[in-house]
Every structure is written in C-alpha cells, then in structure tokens.
Amino acid sequence: MIEVGCCLNMLSRTPDGVGIESLAELGGIGFDYWELPLAQTMALDAGGRERISRLIGETGIPCRACNNFFPAGTRLTGPAADHEGALAYARGALAQAKRFGASTVVFGSAKARNLPIGYPRERAWDQLFAFARRVGALAADAGIVVAMEHLNRGESDILTSFSENVRFVREVDHPSVRALVDFYHLSLEKEPVENLAQGEGLLAHAHVARLTGRTWPVAPARDLEAFFGALRDIGYDGRVSIEAFSDAVGAEAARALEAIRALAGAERGL
C-alpha cells in the first residue's frame, strides 16, 4: 500500500532550511513518514542533527527518505568536477540519512550536477554516470537506495525528463540506483504520464505537488488521477512525498493528505 509523506524542506521558514518548525502543525495530521533535506542537515553541527532526530522522534512518525543530497557548492560535472570530494561527503551523508531512519535518498541536486556553460553534454552525462555508479556502491553499503530525480529545464540542464532519467538509471545498472518520478516536473515539462511505463521495475520514489505554484494538491484532479493511474499500471506500491509550498500549512496539509490517500486507495479499489 502506498505511503504518503511530507517533504519538510519546502515548508521551512528559518535559515537552516530544514523545515522542522512545521512539525508542531503537521505532527498530528497523520503522514506516514517525513522526508528531510540532507544537505541542509549536514550543514548543521552534531547537536543540531541530534535535535532534529529528537524532534522527529517526538512526532511518532519516522523519517523514511531524504532529499537535497548534495550541497550547491559540489561540482559533479565539468572540468572542475570533484568526484573524490563528493564521495567523501556522500559517505557521511548516507550514514546520517541512515541514522535518521531513511532508506531512500533523492538525488536531484541541480546545482551540483548542472553543466558549466559550453561544456559538452555527452561528457557531462559520462561524468554523472561514472559518479552514480560509485555512489551506488556507497549506498549499497549503507542499505540505502539512491533515487535519481528528473528536474524541469528551468532548474537543470541534464536529466530533464522522466524518460531521460529512466534511460540514465538503466545505463548505470546498479541495484542501489533507481528512479524517482516527480509529478510537478513531469507536468511542467508537459511529459505524458504514459511515459511512466518506461520506469516499470525501476521506480523507487515519487513526489507530488500541483503544477500551479507548486502548491499542495488539496483535492483530486484529473491530472493527478491520470498520474496515479499510471503508477497503478506499473505496479508501483512505494512512497509518495508531497513536496509543495503553502501559506496555510496545517489546513492544506490535512486536505492534501486526504486527497492523495483517496487517489492511492482508489488505485487499488480500496
């Protein structure tokens, strides 16, 4: 049965960008899990990370995923790419994700993977491929799956469609490197939900938000129904995190959770 979680980083109103200040509003709503931003938590000291673990524990709701894998200053493509430094960071970050309780780490990190101006895309693809293979090995050692995320072309210039994302994951061919599908990016790029069929057997995680303003999906809609229908068709039975902005977190979160659970439940005739 699909679990529905909440990405806390999208709700942050404090400089650390973690979003834990929203836990008081969201803790009693009934999410199945939290999704924490890894780069932001890694920027905190040990005491800050312990505080996050404590606050998460107090909600009684586990952290099962992390996003924002690499900080913006990391370079994974181009002549200044530093894979050794990025892998050293990844070892610590994956260990921290495991301590939080996460079994999935989302690899979007647009600023880390984006191409320098004028850099050949094919060469950047090869660099990212080689790095993903190596980070997959680290993830396997940590008991974590890395979910590669496709991003819209306003944010990234590589892996900008679900189809391209799946092709990349197939080429990497590592059991700890899988694909994520993001409804917001899919919709912004006008990519048909039928393309989800290409990810059958490779999909490890999903994100949802309304296309309009990347806001909370507070009611079922035809585009969301089609998206969940496509998930059903490939037998996806994993996690779906709501990754959305809001000016009325508590009220909208409750409505969105109800809407997504209705869509996920309808998928299975529940």
* Per-residue model confidence as pLDDT tens digits over 47-66: 999 999 999 999 999 999 99
% of residues, the chain, pLDDT over 90: 89
pLDDT tens per residue, range 242-269: 999 988 888 899 999 999 999 998 544 4
SS3 34: strand
Could you tell me if 52 and 85 are in contact, meaning their C-beta atoms sit under 8 angstroms apart?
no
- Confidence grade of residue 111 (pLDDT, cut at 50, 70, 90): very high
Q: Please choose, from the candidates 116, 194, 134, 201, the residue with its C-alpha nearest in 3D space to the C-alpha of residue 162.
A: 194
Per-residue model confidence as pLDDT tens digits over 20-56: 888 988 999 999 999 999 999 999 999 999 999 999 9
Q: What is the mean pLDDT of the chain?
A: 95
Domain ranges within the chain, ordered by starting residue: 3-267
Q: How far apart are CA 162 and CA 157, in angstroms?
A: 13
CATH of segment(s) 3-267 = 3.20.20.150
pLDDT of residue 266: 56
Q: Is the pLDDT of residue 203 over 50?
A: yes
Quickly tell me which residue has 């973690």 as its tokens.
Answer: 18
Angle between helices 46-59 and 83-100 (to 10 degrees): 40
